[in-house]
């Protein structure tokens, strides 16, 4: 008799909707995908080439009727996606960078849908947004100065450095430079022309490269001018006239003349 009751109880579960999930966690994946300013709601649930991603995991209570899939809703943007499987984890992609989200997960089966459990807030992060084109000027012969501004968004994580690329990749110039802040002084070949592009870097990776700067030409090199004057020495002939030391005229002592 008790065996039959157990069978009926199990069968009754097939006509009950699942309970709310527990232990729901939301973790930023920190992607190296390009920055996305607004949520890509047309493909947020699929593998996306842009935007942030958040990994979700949860538990369905042991006492709950089975779930055939889970419905996930994002806030903000209020985009709803059905996972289509009974897996208790999912990575939500195509989210706006540097944006704080919560996620509500509802267990579903053929009978109905649970009221749902909402996660704590998590910020989706990506690489920084594309910087604006830098400005370049020539400060002196064979040197350029490149100046730029921080991008409109750091992607949700602090910018750690910038990479500056020069169109001039001569033997004296690798063409790639790293600097923490603007401006950057670059050694170039004198009398050459070049442009510069900047990328911003955070813990997730590098932004899209900026548009090119203005074209700048380094000043030609002129060595310092020093007028040349050969050393001047007065001319002395190789032989000099001889003047003996001067003594007063010699007069012998005077002796009177005495005759016999």
Same domain, 180 and 79: no
Residue 259 lies in a domain: no
What per-residue string of b and e applies to 208-243 under the rule 16 or more CB within 10 Å gives b? Answer: eebebbeebebeeeeeeeeeeeeeeeeeeeeeeeee
pLDDT at 168: 84
Same domain, 32 and 116: yes
> Domain end: 124, 152, 187, which one?
124
> Domain end: 179, 194, 217, which one?
217
CATH of the domain at 178: 2.60.40.10
Same domain, 80 and 183: no
Compute how many other C-beta atoms are within 10 angstroms of the C-beta atom of residue 59.
12
Same domain, 155 and 196: yes
Per-residue model confidence as pLDDT tens digits over 176-206? 899 999 999 988 888 889 999 999 999 999 9
pLDDT band at 238 (very low <50, low <70, confident <90, very high): low
Same domain, 9 and 86: yes
What per-residue string of b and e applies to 25-48 under the rule 16 or more CB within 10 Å gives b? Answer: ebebbbbebbbbeebbbeebbeeb
Same domain, 75 and 186: no
Beta-bridge partners for 102? 75
Six token digits for residue 93: 């992609």
Per-residue model confidence as pLDDT tens digits over 27-62? 999 999 999 998 876 554 445 678 999 999 999 999
Same domain, 43 and 118: yes
Please give the helix or strand (H or E) that residue 141 lies within, else none.
none
Residue 225 lies in a domain: no
**What pTM value is reported for the model?**
0.73
Per-residue model confidence as pLDDT tens digits over 112-163? 999 999 999 999 999 999 999 999 998 777 889 999 999 999 999 999 999 9
Same domain, 7 and 118: yes
> DSSP code of 244?
P
Residue 83 lies in a domain: yes
Per the structure, the count of domains in the chain is: 2
Instruction: Report how far residue 55's alpha carbon sits from residue 98's, in angstroms, rounded to the nearest whole number.
Output: 16
Same domain, 25 and 119: yes
Same domain, 7 and 110: yes
Domain containing residue 140: 135-217
């Amino acid at each position: 008799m008790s065996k039959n009751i157990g069978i009926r109880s199990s069968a009754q579960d097939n006509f009950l909707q699942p309970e709310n999930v527990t232990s729901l966690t939301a973790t930023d994946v920190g992607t190296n995908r390009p920055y996305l300013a607004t949520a890509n709601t047309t493909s947020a649930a699929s593998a996306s080439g842009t935007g942030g991603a958040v990994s979700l995991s949860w538990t369905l209570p042991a006492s709950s009727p089975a779930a055939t899939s889970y419905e996930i809703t994002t806030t903000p943007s209020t985009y709803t996606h059905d996972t289509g499987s009974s897996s208790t984890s999912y990575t939500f992609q195509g989210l706006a960078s540097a944006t704080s989200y919560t996620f509500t997960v509802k267990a579903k089966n053929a009978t109905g849908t649970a009221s749902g459990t909402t996660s704590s807030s998590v910020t989706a992060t990506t690489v920084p947004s594309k910087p604006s084109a830098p400005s370049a000027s020539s400060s002196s012969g064979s040197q350029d100065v490149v100046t730029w501004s921080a991008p409109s968004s750091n992607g949700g994580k602090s910018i750690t450095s910038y990479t500056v690329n020069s169109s001039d990749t001569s033997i004296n110039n690798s063409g790639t430079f790293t600097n923490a802040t603007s401006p950057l002084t670059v050694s170039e070949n004198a009398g050459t022309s070049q442009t510069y592009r900047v990328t911003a870097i955070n813990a997730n990776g590098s932004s899209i490269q900026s548009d090119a700067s203005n074209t700048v030409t380094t000043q030609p090199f002129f060595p310092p001018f020093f007028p040349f004057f050969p050393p001047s020495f007065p001319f002395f002939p190789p032989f000099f006239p001889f003047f003996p030391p001067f003594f007063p005229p010699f007069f012998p002592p005077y002796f009177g003349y005495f005759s016999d």
